[in-house]
Amino acid sequence: MTGSRVMNVDPSDGHRPSRGGTRKAELVALASRMFREHGYHGVGMRALADAAGMQAASLYHHFRSKEELLLHTIYVVDRDMVVEQMPLLDGPESHAERLARLVRAHITHIGANRDAWLVAGRELRALSPDRLEAVQGYRRDYQRRIARHLAEGVDAGEFDCPDPRLATLAILDLINGPNEWFDPGGRLTIEQIADRYAEMVVRQLAPPAPTAGGGPTTRDGDT
Amino acid sequence: MTGSRVMNVDPSDGHRPSRGGTRKAELVALASRMFREHGYHGVGMRALADAAGMQAASLYHHFRSKEELLLHTIYVVDRDMVVEQMPLLDGPESHAERLARLVRAHITHIGANRDAWLVAGRELRALSPDRLEAVQGYRRDYQRRIARHLAEGVDAGEFDCPDPRLATLAILDLINGPNEWFDPGGRLTIEQIADRYAEMVVRQLAPPAPTAGGGPTTRDGDT
DNA sequence: TCGCAGCCCTAACGATCGTTAGGCAACCCC
DNA sequence: GGGGTTGCCTAACGATCGTTAGGGCTGCGA
């Protein structure tokens, strides 16, 4: 476990879902979509309630505040990133193979949770400091795990990469990109994009050639 | 000229700057910073005015509305992208050299206009349809110019790239990435990041090897 | 059959929103 | 020295903001 987590801000409620916690999930999904379209501050509780066919005050039977509703939206993305995607870097396969698997899963997850991903990407600043810290902790863990994977791949001679830390940022820049422009009705499916982006990442890190013994470059020292 | 522009929404005022249009520029820069930190809808005219040492109503002597203020912020970025960056793809140099030049200039411009870039990236939805269309026209032009450059590079045998349109998106994802995380006090300067990202882009497109005549792959047909 | 929890309602709170009207002081050009 | 412009002011408009108080209906478990 990397970053010492400060407090427990997990929004999952402790009480049983009785007949179904489905209503709450519906409201979170609806909020994700509206926050994505108009921004967190651009959507009022009354607009949310209207879209859900209820009154603004009734939302407070499901969420303590508007910000808690935002946290529910963001949490799905960041929790999955750490508990589902990150373990994909473990395993007996080659470093390139494991990294490609992560890239594909990451982009596929974006395709399946577009609303939440966009909100998670641009509405973080609306969170209270404690909750912001918790979410950013997840992201740090994710980023560090990838950086470690690259460094290990370089040490194993499987990757050619002059600056693994910057390469980590570049990879994240790349695989978070479809978040901004992916269109389900577009030319390519999310799986095709995932495959091709994974190829690009692997190609970027591939050692120059399987020719003579001139091994891959070593890492920079930190500046 | 690529996209037929619908209307003139250029926010640059037609009247002479008299003694100085500096005050207006100050207000735009201030708005960029505050919009970046709290979001367009998260900053009120009164908060803006407070930070500028004036009253909210006084802002309306410089801008017709809050949205016009936002447009000023966004416009700098998108206009420069088309009138300054895009021409960098012209010239007698190799396709790789010209593309690297664009990438470096693009990232350097982000470093010099961080506030405006972040606002331009995530507050577009607050623009009215006409103004949104104008801004998106700029971006389409930019994207198409890059796509054309890649296609020409492939045809010239300088690039190896199975899908130039997707590669364009990937390049844009990559070079817009520092927009989200660049820290002026961080490990690397913006120039270093620009150089290394440019290397990555070139490396990604480099043909497999200068060996035998097995030429680069051809482009996909559109799906 | 009773009680209670889940779910939603109406009504209202004080605060803040973007914007407008109208006026006052300082400055340039003629 | 008068006219016009620039830059800011006070005061206020109706609308909307997040949130709270308190009550009523429904349907399950005991």
pTM, two decimals, is: 0.86
B163 touches strand C (CB under 7 A): no
Using one digit for the tens of pLDDT, what is the confidence trace for B138-195? 999 999 999 999 999 999 999 999 999 999 999 999 999 999 999 999 999 999 999 9
Q: What is the pLDDT of residues B14-46, one digit of tens each?
A: 333 334 467 888 999 999 999 999 999 999 999
What are the counts of helices (DSSP H) followed by strands (DSSP E) for chain B? 9, 0
Asked whether the beta carbons of B150 and B167 are under 8 A apart, the reply is yes
φ, ψ dihedrals at A30, nearest 5°: -65, -45
Measured between beta carbons, the chain A residues lying within 8 angstroms of B166 are: 188, 193, 196
Asked whether the beta carbons of A153 and B183 are under 8 A apart, the reply is no
CB-based contacts of B88, cutoff 8 Å, min separation 6: B98, B101, B102, B105
The residue type at B125: R
pLDDT at B209 > cutoff 90: no
Closest to B41 (Cβ–Cβ): which among A41, A172, A188? Answer: A41
| Cβ contact B196–A166 (<8 Å) | yes
Could A166 and B188 be called an inter-chain contact, meaning their C-beta atoms sit closer than 8 Å? yes
Rounded CA separation B179/A79 (Å): 24
Rounded CA-CA distance B106/A148 in Å is 29
Question: String of b and e for B183-209 (b: at least 16 CB within 10 Å)?
Answer: eeeeebebeebbbbbbebbbebbbbee
Q: Nearest chain A residue to B43 by CA: give it.
A: A41
pLDDT tens by residue, chain A, 223 residues: 333 333 345 555 433 333 446 788 899 999 999 999 999 999 999 999 999 999 999 999 999 999 999 999 999 899 999 999 999 999 999 999 999 999 999 999 999 999 999 999 999 999 999 999 999 999 999 999 999 999 999 999 999 999 999 999 999 999 999 999 999 999 999 999 999 999 999 999 998 765 444 444 444 434 3
CA closest to A42 among chain B residues:
B41
The model's confidence at residue B11, banded by pLDDT at 50, 70 and 90, is: low
- Which bases of chain C are contacted by protein, using any atom under 7 A from a CB? 5-12, 16-22, 28
For residue B58, give every residue at least 6 positions away whose Cβ sits within 8 Å of its Cβ, in sequence order, or none: B49
| Candidate from B125, B163, B209 with C-beta closest to A196 | B163
Nearest CA in chain B to A223: B187
Which structure tokens are listed for B41? 């809808």
pLDDT digits (tens, 9 = 90+) for B81-108: 999 999 999 999 999 999 999 999 999 9
Characterize A180-211 residue by residue with b for buried, 16 or more Cβ atoms within 10 angstroms of its Cβ, and e for exposed: bebeeeeebebeebbbbbbebbbebbbbeeee
Q: Residue B107: name the closest of B174, B187, B51, B168 by CA.
A: B174
